[in-house]
Every structure is written in structure tokens, then in C-alpha cells.
Amino acid sequence: MIEFQTEPDPIFLAILAEALQWTRDQLYPYGESYQPSQEELAEQDEQYPVLYPSLARFFSRSEALAETQRLLSALHDPRVYRFTDYHWLVLYASLEMFTDLHNDEAFGSDGRVGPYTIDAINFDDIVSAFFFDTDFLFGPELLVASEKKLDVLPGVTPQAVKIAAGIKPSAEDLEFTPTDQQPDTETASREATTYPTAGYIGPYPMRERGVDER
């Protein structure tokens, strides 16, 4: 599992899994048994910065593919992981692309996302609910001018500063850190009665029900 700002509900997790799978498939649109030619791979390399310009600044296509797969694996791991702004950038780009396509009915008019049927997905509300911040989106305004080093503004991670400066990640910047956080069984039990496990849910995030609707 990935550590989010708030405990994720099953509908968001389904959206995120689909978004990451979509990104993975765009980065490598071939089956396991198919061996693409060098020409096909070169074509994918050319298309990649057009599809994901924010990722192409920091990752080659194969690097972005590897990190997307790592995030998918972490999402399904019972352990809870914390990671850096470089990975939040991958999550952001994946969710932004997927929700735009979903809302434009690019995947079909039935609105299927995993076991759910969803109308419009509000990307901004998802980011506000589950992302700790979006410092990784800012540019040089995050930097304190210095000729020989980059100083971090208060509350901003070193990785967000590196992203603002256009610096590619080091191996340390891409580490996943296991947390001591245990799976929240109480919340999971409550969500089992609050959120449907499948079927039609309308727009997401789901609108809070008023007293007269309970």
C-alpha cells in the first residue's frame, strides 16, 4: 500500500490502479510474448514525451515504465510505503491522463473503472484529498538562489527542489521507505459498509449524503 494524506477508499484505489496500468501500457504497449523491433521501440520513445512531458524531463521511457510498475506493486503490497516527490509526479501524471480520458469517454461510454461504473471523476478533488502537497509542480520559485548549492524552502522536500531545478533523480531519490503504519482494519471495516464493492456509484468523489437522503 502507498501512504496517502488520508486513508484511501476502494473506489480511489480502483481508479489509481487503472491509471497506473494505463500508463504502463502506454509506455510499453506489447504483450509479454511479443518482442518489439528496434524501430517500434524507437517510435515509442518518440511518442513518450508527447504523452507525458512532465515525466520525460526526469525519466527515460524505460525508467518511467519501471517506476510505474514499482508503484503498482507497492499499491497491492500489504506493507505501507512512503516515497518521494518523483513518484508523486508519476502518480499525478498518470491520474491526470486517465481521468481526462475517462471523462471524455475515450474508454467507452459505460464508465467502467475496475469493478465500478463511474460518471465524471474530479481530478482536482482527488489530489486535494489524497496528495500531501503538489510542490513537485512548481518551478524555480521553489529555489533559494545560490551559486553553489540548492537550499530548500521551509516545508519543501529536497526532491521537490531538484524537480524545480530540472535535476533527474538519483537512486536515493527513488527509494521506497516502509513505514511502521499497520493496515487500518477499523477503517477498512467501516468502508465495507460505506462504499459499494462494485457497480454504479455516480460521480467521484462521491457526494456526501444529506440528512434527508440517509
Res. 104: pLDDT tops 60:
yes
CA dihedral 26, 12, 213, 104 (to 10 degrees): -10
| Contacts for 105 with CB less than 8 Å, ≥ 6 apart | 111
In this model, does residue 140 exceed pLDDT 90? no
Cα(159)–Cα(133) distance, integer angstroms: 13
Residue 82 has a CB neighbour count (10 Å cut-off) of: 14
Spell out the domain ranges in the chain.
10-128+177-213
Cell 464493492: give the residue: 197
H helical segments located in the chain: 10-27, 38-51, 53-56, 61-75, 85-103, 123-130, 158-164, 185-194
Q: Report the distance separating Cα 158 and Cα 143, nearest Å.
A: 10
Percent of the chain with pLDDT over 70: 84
pLDDT digits (tens, 9 = 90+) for 24-68: 999 999 988 899 999 999 999 999 999 999 999 999 999 999 999
Q: For residue 56, what are the β-bridge partners?
A: none
Tell me how crowded residue 71 is: count the other CB atoms within 10 A of its CB. 24
Give the integer Cα–Cα distance in Å for 180 and 51: 36
Cell 516545508 belongs to residue: 155
> Residue 185: what pLDDT?
56
* pTM greater than 0.85 (yes/no): yes
Place of cell 538562489: 145
Angle between helices 85-103 and 61-75 (to 10 degrees): 90
